[in-house]
């Protein structure tokens, strides 16, 4: 199936809210709003409800502050705590490890997908932390469109745009971390 699909999810600009590290929450809220969940919450209110990890481990919650960089912390939240938190607002499905075609199928069925990529889709710049190896240029966006050769994303830093599937897949496949946001 190669038809062009665009869900037209909203775009939340994290920097407009002073959240220099708030891409995961912005992308999640974009998808929840698209599915008519958590509509009563704006991004600022949503950020204040995000679980913060007491040990700065993004596998346990947000590792630091979305509003500032803290030396030694990896300011991010990964899929498991995001699913746990986001499921109190809507139905989420962990898709980590999924082939990109699964993500495209999800979008074609009307369900946007939060994907972990890198800022500006640049090559990952790997760092080591006690919890594992992660890209210093970690980023999350909402995948909300697909056609034969391109995908569309709602990016909390760079706005909404189309990019080639080849570029998307190269960066996504570095980690294959994703969450489907269901109706």
For domain 5-181, the CATH architecture is: Alpha-Beta Complex (3.90)
> What average pLDDT does the segment 28-35 reach?
98
Band (22; pLDDT cuts 50, 70, 90): very high
Domain map (residue ranges) of the chain: 5-181
- Residues 6+ away with beta carbon under 8 Å from 107: 5, 7, 113, 143, 144, 145, 146
Give the pLDDT confidence of 43-93 residue by residue, as tens digits: 999 999 999 999 999 999 999 999 999 998 999 999 999 999 999 999 999
177 burial level (CB within 10 Å; 0-12, 13-18, 19+): buried
Task: For 19-170, list the strands marked E by DSSP.
Answer: 92-94, 113-118, 126-129, 132-135, 138-146, 150-155, 159-164
Cα–Cα distance between 12 and 90 in angstroms, integer? 18
User: CA quadruple 13, 174, 75, 179: dihedral positive or negative?
Assistant: positive
Band (183; pLDDT cuts 50, 70, 90): very high
Give the pLDDT confidence of 117-138 residue by residue, as tens digits: 999 999 999 999 999 999 999 9
Task: Identify the pLDDT of residue 1.
Answer: 54
Q: Which two tokens stand for residue 17?
A: 């809210």
Per the DSSP assignment, residues forming a β-bridge with 181 are 92
Least confident of 1-5, 106-110, 163-167: 1-5
Q: Rounded to two decimals, what is the model's pTM?
A: 0.97
149, pLDDT greater than 70: yes
């Amino acid at each position: 199936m190669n038809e062009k699909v665009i869900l037209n999810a909203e775009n939340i600009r994290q920097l407009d809210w002073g959240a220099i590290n708030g891409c995961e929450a912005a992308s999640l809220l974009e998808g929840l709003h698209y599915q008519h969940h958590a509509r009563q919450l704006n991004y600022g209110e949503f950020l204040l409800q995000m679980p913060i990890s007491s040990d700065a481990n993004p596998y346990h919650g947000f590792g630091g502050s979305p509003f500032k960089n803290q030396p030694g912390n990896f300011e991010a939240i990964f899929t498991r705590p995001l699913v746990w938190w986001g499921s109190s607002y809507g139905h989420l499905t962990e898709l980590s490890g999924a082939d990109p075609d699964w993500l495209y199928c999800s979008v074609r069925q009307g369900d946007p997908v939060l994907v972990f990529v890198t800022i500006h889709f640049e090559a990952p710049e790997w760092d080591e932390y006690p919890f594992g190896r992660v890209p210093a240029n970690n980023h999350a966006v909402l995948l909300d469109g697909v056609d034969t050769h391109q995908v569309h994303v709602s990016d909390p830093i760079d706005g909404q745009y189309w990019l080639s599937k080849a570029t998307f897949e190269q960066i996504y496949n570095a980690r294959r971390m994703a969450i489907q946001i269901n109706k």
